[in-house]
Structure 1
Amino acid sequence: MDSSRKEVIIKEIMYWKDHKMLPDHYCDYLLALYSEGELNNELSNVNKRKHGKKFGIFLFILCLLVIISFFVIYFTELAFILQTMILTCFVVFLLILGFYYSKKEFWYPIFYIGAAFLFLLLSVHIIDKEFNNNPLALYTTLFFNCFIWLLTGWRLRLLYFVISGVLGLLLLIIYIVI
């Protein structure tokens, strides 16, 4: 097979891989077969750069949502219901992104971490407004959040959620006792 035909086939296989027309491992096999193993190193470097760029974009989205959330809560005179709806939309948006990318990408847990943090911020904000700084309501809410983290970590096999839930519960118990 001449080199121009191989190049066309390799470009077509790369197109299939980029547009998810075939599973990645099939495309990797075909690329290794037609390029005779020469493209493996180049493709791994390209994939690392793509994942690095996506991680940067994910991190930017997360930081932007957290900054906007703090701005909405502490620096605006929006109505309580509007603040709550904005934060709830952010949490739901991050959860949807987490579910979507959990099947496609490597960096999906960053969305779950952001959603957990914003949910904690949202729940503390609601308790602060509705119960006028009632310590029992705040402790119950913090316990509930830590329990959700523990359950999520156990269910999704995310170790840092389990550790966060356990440490949060321990710190809360120590704070209440002391």
Structure 2
Amino acid sequence: MLSRGFTNAGAPPCAGACNESEGKFWKEGCRLNLEKRDTILREIQYWRRSKLLPEQYCDFLTNLYDDQAEVKDSNPVSLRNLQQGSIKIWLFGFGIISLIFLISLYFSVFPWPLQLATALSVLIICYGYSAIYLNRNKTISLMLAGIGSILTLGFGLWLIELHKLDADFWTPLLIAACGLLWCVLGFFLRIGLLHFCGYAFWALLYAGFFGHVRPDASLLELELLWLPLCVLMIWMSWLMYHKVSGVSGVYLGAGAALWLMPEVDALWLRAGFPEWTSLILILKIAVGLALLFLFRKKWITWVAS
């Protein structure tokens, strides 16, 4: 009777639960194995890009762990991908090179709306792909951001020259626009050098403006013009350390540069200052290094955040 009960049921009451539990454990184990394999493959790709292991060792480890024997390289223009002979990559490279030569040769004969649209399109592509590759491949992202920044300034100066615009008006406007663009993009993309260059352009604009307004300013006036900005930037560095991660070092670097700007302004951007101004510059460098040494635990924490 007991056996008939089992026969009618087809299986013990706990059999379904056991099978379901085993299936769940098997799926979970497969998922963990796949995640572990993907993690190992990503580490191998990192070793390859960082040159921590020779190329042949990376190939061996990749073939060992990758069931599909296929390298998932995040860099689309790596030597390995070029060696594999992907027609898409070669056509893409041909198209980019052709586009560069086309713009270089015929940009000057375009009507000005097309010139402006072409420049904006190229910049949007460079900065857009820089943002896309920011987490995939840092090197490509930085290269695209650098190319976009150079082209921003280059296209602006080219347009001013082509259309014979008033350089005294449009060049400062271009510097201001580049500085603002680089500050915003550097902040959101967390590209410190781009962010710093934006503030450097604004400092250049600031120096040019006061050089025009006060061409005969004394060294004391220059100190009063620049040192409050230095204090402001260092305070911003402290504030960003507590509010936003990844940008505190930019403000600290800008503050350190502004600490030396009065003497730099006097020696290189103006005329008529005595030779002992350079001694003040050397003294301020020594004082700045001493302050950095004394407060090294503070600012290193800010920069590393």
Band of TM-score, shorter chain: 0.5 to 0.7
What is the deviation of 1:129?
6.2
**CA–CA separation in structure 2 for the residues paired with 1:78 and 1:125:** 13
Stretch moving more, 118-127 or 108-117: 118-127
What residue number does 2:183 align with? 150
Structure 1 regions of 5+ residues with no counterpart? 1-21, 33-39
Amino acid at match of 2:58: L
Seen in structure 2, the aligned counterparts of structure 1 residues 159 and 72 have a Cα distance that, compared at 3 Å, is farther
What is the deviation of 1:95?
2.5
For residues 86-165 of structure 1, what are the structure 2 equivalents within 5 Å? Answer: 86-106=118-138, 107-126=140-159, 132-165=165-198
Amino acid at match of 1:27: D
**CA–CA separation in structure 1 for the residues paired with 2:188 and 2:205:** 23
**CA–CA separation in structure 1 for the residues paired with 2:120 and 2:113:** 10
**CA–CA separation in structure 1 for the residues paired with 2:59 and 2:208:** 49
Structure 2 regions of 5+ residues with no counterpart? 1-33, 44-52, 63-70, 83-88, 212-269, 271-305
The answer as to 2:53 corresponding to 1:43 is no
What is the deviation of 1:128?
5.5
**CA–CA separation in structure 2 for the residues paired with 1:108 and 1:138:** 28
Q: Deviations over 1:130-156 (max 9, x none)?
A: 782152333122112112212222222
Cα RMSD (Å) = 4.1
Task: Give the TM-score, by structure 2 length.
Answer: 0.36
What residue number does 1:78 align with? 110
Greater C-alpha Rg? 2
Contact 2:186 2:194 in 1 (8 A): yes
Q: Deviations over 1:27-82 (max 9, x none)?
A: 244899xxxxxxx87228988x985953999xx89x95666554444xx4222222
The answer as to 2:38 corresponding to 1:27 is yes
Seen in structure 2, the aligned counterparts of structure 1 residues 163 and 70 have a Cα distance that, compared at 3 Å, is farther
The answer as to 2:78 corresponding to 1:54 is yes
Paired residue secondary structure (1:102): coil
What residue number does 1:15 align with? none
Seen in structure 2, the aligned counterparts of structure 1 residues 80 and 157 have a Cα distance that, compared at 3 Å, is same
Contact 1:94 1:112 in 2 (8 A): yes
What residue number does 2:20 align with? none
Amino acid at match of 1:43: C
Task: Tell me which of the two structures has the higher relative contact order, counting C-alpha pairs closer than 8 angstroms and 6 or more residues apart.
Answer: 1
Seen in structure 2, the aligned counterparts of structure 1 residues 50 and 87 have a Cα distance that, compared at 3 Å, is same
**CA–CA separation in structure 2 for the residues paired with 1:130 and 1:31:** 50
Amino acid at match of 1:169: W
Amino acid at match of 2:78: K
Contact 1:102 1:108 in 2 (8 A): yes
What is the deviation of 1:170?
2.3
**CA–CA separation in structure 2 for the residues paired with 1:30 and 1:114:** 30
**CA–CA separation in structure 2 for the residues paired with 1:114 and 1:101:** 14
* Count of aligned positions: 143
Contact 1:120 1:145 in 2 (8 A): yes
Q: Calculate percent identity across the aligned residue pairs.
A: 12
